[in-house]
Copies of this chain bind each other. A is one copy, B any other.
Amino acid sequence: MSRVPVLEIFGPTIQGEGAAIGMKTMFVRTAGCDYSCSWCDSAFTWDGSAKDQIRMLTPQEIVLELDSLAANNYSMVTISGGNPALISEPMEKLIDLLRDRQVNIAVETQGTRWQNWFNKVNILTISPKPPSSGMDTDWGKLEHILAHSKDPLISLKVVVFNDEDFLYAKQVHQKYPKIPFYVQVGNEDVTEEGDISGRLLKGLEWLFQKVIDDPEMNEVRVLPQLHALIWHNKRGK
């Protein structure tokens, strides 16, 4: 039976960012990414550093593990990565199992791959990566994904580290003005230990001001990563 490469299953916790900000959720983090963003906060999913922790699990095993962690104490599962969109059939099976149990499903992916199961999830966040990531956007792929995804479950989110990233975010928003659009302040050092909330809040204030000052960004949402404000760079929170 086909299996999902899983790096982390944890929760319940609170989703700290994006369209589902503030919602109680379990997390399933898959291994593997087709990108290698310079500031990736989940680089262990693809850089080999956590290779030994990858488990090949069947969809049923994942559901069992979610329940053993938190039976009756969750109604939402967030599937994150890496890039969960690299996985087709076993991921669709997992999503079907969760749907059968009336669990809401959120997925985040950078928009390089389409999967038919995208339209089975409740909250789909497409998060194209700005110039500071060092990655190039494949606009054709992004277009394909957005054209095939159902409203209003979909949203776009761009992490912003600097002025160039902000321009990129504007460009994405202007291409797809009808799709709910989030800008999120980036975490410049995902390995720094201790309390990083002061630095993150300075970044949030900067991004607030960028949006406040820009008449072309009247409809976007600006959000922080709440989990990073509270739990800093800790994993599994």
The contact string, 1 if C-beta is below 8 Å from chain B, for chain A 182-207, is 10000000000000011001001100
Given contacts A21-B221, A182-B22, A224-B226, contact A14 B75 (CB under 8 A): no
Interface of A is mostly: mixed
Q: Is A208 an interface residue (CB 8 A)?
A: yes
- Each complex incorporates copies of this chain amounting to 2
Give the interface segment out of A49-57, A138-146, A211-219.
A211-219
Q: How far is the CA of A139 from the CA of B217 in the complex (A)?
A: 40
Q: Which residues 88-110 of A sit at the B interface, judged by CB distance below 8 A?
A: none
Q: How far is the CB of A178 from chain B (nearest CB, A)?
A: 14
The answer on a CB contact under 8 Å between B226 and A204 is yes
Q: Is A68 an interface residue (CB 8 A)?
A: no
Chain B residues with Cβ below 8 Å from A23 are 221
Q: Is A222 an interface residue (CB 8 A)?
A: yes
Q: Which residues 19-65 of A sit at the B interface, judged by CB distance below 8 A?
A: 21-24
Closest residue of B by beta carbon distance from A213:
B73
Given contacts A208-B14, A229-B229, contact A73 B24 (CB under 8 A): no
Chain B residues with Cβ below 8 Å from A21 are 21-22, 221, 223
Q: How large is the interface on A (under 10, 10 to 19, 20 to 34, 35 or more residues)?
A: 35 or more
Q: Which residue, A14, A219, A229, has most C-beta atoms of chain B within 10 A?
A: A14
The answer on a CB contact under 8 Å between B24 and A218 is yes
Q: How far is the CA of A208 from the CA of B228 in the complex (A)?
A: 13
Q: How far is the CB of A114 from chain B (nearest CB, A)?
A: 28
The answer on a CB contact under 8 Å between B201 and A197 is yes
Q: How far is the CA of A214 from the CA of B218 in the complex (A)?
A: 37
Q: Is A13 an interface residue (CB 8 A)?
A: yes
The answer on a CB contact under 8 Å between B229 and A208 is no
Q: How far is the CA of A212 from the CA of B220 in the complex (A)?
A: 29
Chain B residues with Cβ below 8 Å from A222 are 14, 22, 24
Q: Which residue, A76, A201, A204, A208, has most C-beta atoms of chain B within 10 A?
A: A208
24 contacts between A and B (CB under 8 A): A12-B218, A14-B208, A14-B211, A14-B212, A14-B222, A21-B21, A21-B221, A21-B223, A24-B211, A24-B212, A24-B217, A24-B218, A24-B219, A24-B222, A73-B215, A75-B219, A197-B201, A201-B230, A204-B229, A204-B230, A205-B230, A205-B231, A224-B229, A229-B229
